[in-house]
Structure 1
Amino acid sequence: MALTVLNPQVKNSLSGSAFFDQGSIEGQGPPPPLRSYLCLAMFSCFCPAYPVNIVALVYSIMSRSSYYHGDYDGSRRLGRNALYVAVASIIIGLLIIAISCIVHFTTMDY
């Protein structure tokens, strides 16, 4: 354990063994761009598929949180899930609107 005190580049794994980073912080490139699809998830909240669009919003917020904690792979995965759920929410919402309009205008008495 004295090795971790002397060298801050050493990380401990869950099994207790230590491994070294593959480079210094200065040598690493910039982080990948954030793609949490927050705007799309908020837009999907206006569709009438409420449980689904709230899940998209939660995935999007979790993606941003993972990105800011440095978990870029987890952020990418959660962002992709947010995109899929938001698109599904928009499609479900448009289907609900279309079906309600069809039912309303076909059962209307003149």
Structure 2
Amino acid sequence: MALVVLNSQVKSSLSGSTFFDRGSIEEQEHSPPLRSYLCLTIFTCFCPAYPVNIVALVFSIMSRNSYYHGDYDGSRRLGRSALYVAVASIVIGLLIIAITCIVHFTTMEF
């Protein structure tokens, strides 16, 4: 009777019982955490600084793709860029809102 191994992490012993290969699982545990700031960049899409927040969203998605392809340094670099552009988008959006409110309320006729 031949035993078929479906996953590279699952191995079978001579008695027929299966167990996980701990070496490959330990290698996967040492990957750094994913920091793509996707939630923040989606939140910035509601700010009125549209070209800037779309760039932040693109950086965030590129960071996630790099992470899943195993490029952890590129993922970290793109995630940091996404964070900086998202913060810039929030600041620009708040400035646009403040300037709009100031112009609207100072030119209002009573």
Give TM-score scaled by structure 2 length.
Answer: 0.75
Which ranges of 4 or more aligned residues in structure 1 deviate by more than 2 Å? 24-29
What is the percentage of aligned positions where both structures have the same residue?
Answer: 79
Q: How many residues align?
A: 87
Matches within 5 A, 1:1-110: 28=27, 29-110=29-110
CA distance in structure 2 between the aligned counterparts of 1:57 and 1:25, rounded to whole angstroms = 33
- 1:27 is displaced (CA, Å) by 6.1
- 1:30 is displaced (CA, Å) by 1.9
Q: Deviations over 1:8-32 (max 9, x none)?
A: xxxxxxxxxxxxxxxx856645210
Give TM-score scaled by structure 1 length.
Answer: 0.75
CA distance in structure 2 between the aligned counterparts of 1:69 and 1:38, rounded to whole angstroms = 17
Structure 2 unaligned regions, length at least 5: 1-22
CA distance in structure 2 between the aligned counterparts of 1:43 and 1:99, rounded to whole angstroms = 21
- 1:57 is displaced (CA, Å) by 0.0
Q: Deviations over 1:43-73 (max 9, x none)?
A: 0000000000000000000000000000000
- 1:82 is displaced (CA, Å) by 0.1
RMSD of aligned Cα (Å):
1.3
- Secondary structure of 1:109's partner? coil
